Structure 1
Amino acid sequence: MNKLTIVYIALTVCGTFSLVIFFLLVLGYRPLIPDGAVEPNWDAFQTLSTIFLSLVTLGLTWCIAKRQENLTKEQEKLSLIQEEQKKQAERERFQIEKSIAEKELKAKELELKISLYDKRYRVYECFNKYPFDRIEEFAIAGTNTAFVMPDGGRLNGAEATRMLIFGDRYINGRRQLLDELRMLEDKKNLTNAEQRKKNNLHNRILFENLDYWNSEIALIEQAEFCFDESEAQMLIAFIKVMFEYANPIGDQYDVKQFEELQMKLIKSIEDIKNNQLIDKLKDKLTLSYNEINT
């Protein structure tokens, strides 16, 4: 039983008792006077009424104030609970968003690490496919015979380098495909069969250009991610001059231009060897691998 209930009971008892006294006085009943009823005492009635109404008013005012106070406290308590729940929901939402952002960041970092490892590995494979010793040998050979084919054909340094980089399909196949594609592109009115052939040739050339074994641009893009800027430029210079040296330019060579390319290629190979770029690339490749697996 709380205090408010006790107050209600007390007020009810007081009110009932006051009403009984009120009616007894109004009727003039005096239980201790033997002659029975006498004239009502209106002054006492007025005084008692005033006291009764004051008590009832005071009690009701107190009850209303107390009830309003309790209601205010409940509302404040409810507001605090709602505010705390809101803050908790905000904290949980922030933690969820933070967790998602961290996972996305880790996934992006891992993706970049894998991409970097892939680029470095492709360049490393390039070095394995184009050994410096062989390229240096072909560069030194120049216009002299550098390689003898199984059928007895002889390749000079540039041709042997081209064979090493592009393989037979470039010399015997790719150049022919390019010529056919140019002829179809120059032709204005194509039949359906010619249009299909043109599209197929175009797609095949694009596919081969994406093959990093055969694409100078792709190798340069890979190289830019392998080293610091100065070392990357050193590697890019080697790739450019190697492809330029190996690029077919017809049966006749400009002797002066060819000699310049020859010397540039030899120097770029020496720079890479002197700066131990291959060993550095191996170290960076190992570093990338460890970063992915940590």
Structure 2
Amino acid sequence: MRRLLKPRRLFSLLALLALAALLALGQSFRVYERVWFKFNEWRHAAQWQEQSIWLPDYRVVLEAQPIEGLEDNVSALTYDPDRQTLFTVTNKQNELVELSLEGKVLRRIALHGFGDTEAIEYISRNVYVITDETHQRLLRVELHDDTKELHAEDAQQLALALGRGGNSGFEGLAYDSLGKRLFVAKERNPVHIYEVRGFPYEQSAQPTAVHVVEDLEHNRNLFVRDLSSLQYDERSGHLLALSDESRLVLELSANGEPISSLSLLRGMQGLRRSVPQAEGIAMDDQGTLYLVSEPNLFYVFKKREAP
């Protein structure tokens, strides 16, 4: 009997270690939160479907189209309602690139002195904010139809020393033009969304104060593994958060409650293949979603008509 006890104890120990590893892995990939969220998404579908963006109704209509003439890694995406075009940035050559709604390159604008550009956001006619991830800077720039290059020293700048910088800095931007709020996404360590009021400056003179809100309710239930991009929807007041590692677009209510999601995995939302590395998301006036993935892939998602 004594000889049988040792193998049994070893088996029990190995089983406990395997269980602990599975629990740790599940926690790392936020499996339990995602399962609970999917249950609540299904349970509250009737309540939220008419009051939200409701991402489950979206299907891909243009998948993984290479952006011709653009070989560098694209990062971020924003929609310009005045030009009815899209803008992205490349984080190797530091270029600002204007795209058509079909993913065609319209023009390329050189960026000088901007560091590691990871996000761009439309603010108002000809006004944008660009992030410098390495130095945790926000830069306000003006972009006109004849602009061929932009210099960082000419831009209004706001430095935000929030947490650790490096390659885990600001990855996404979204702007609420009615509330004059700029949402800033920190990629990881930890995943976090900040709210900035008072920047960009409306006048050339510096404002008396810039207010940064760190304890947003949006962070309390944010179960994604990283953040790549943000999009604010003024019709619903909801925020879209794009996560590359979680392969997910998450809709957050004005109170920070997760409401709906769009999966970027193969077989979901009509996708034939998983989106390899989602880096930017934007929404136009019609509610159409545009997405870019490294190195240069372009996607379009449209909402199905209600029966």
Taking structure 1 as the reference length, what is the TM-score of the superposition? Answer: 0.28
Q: Between Structure 1 and Structure 2, which shows a larger proportion of strand residues?
A: 2
Q: Between Structure 1 and Structure 2, which shows a larger proportion of helix residues?
A: 1
Larger Rg belongs to: 1
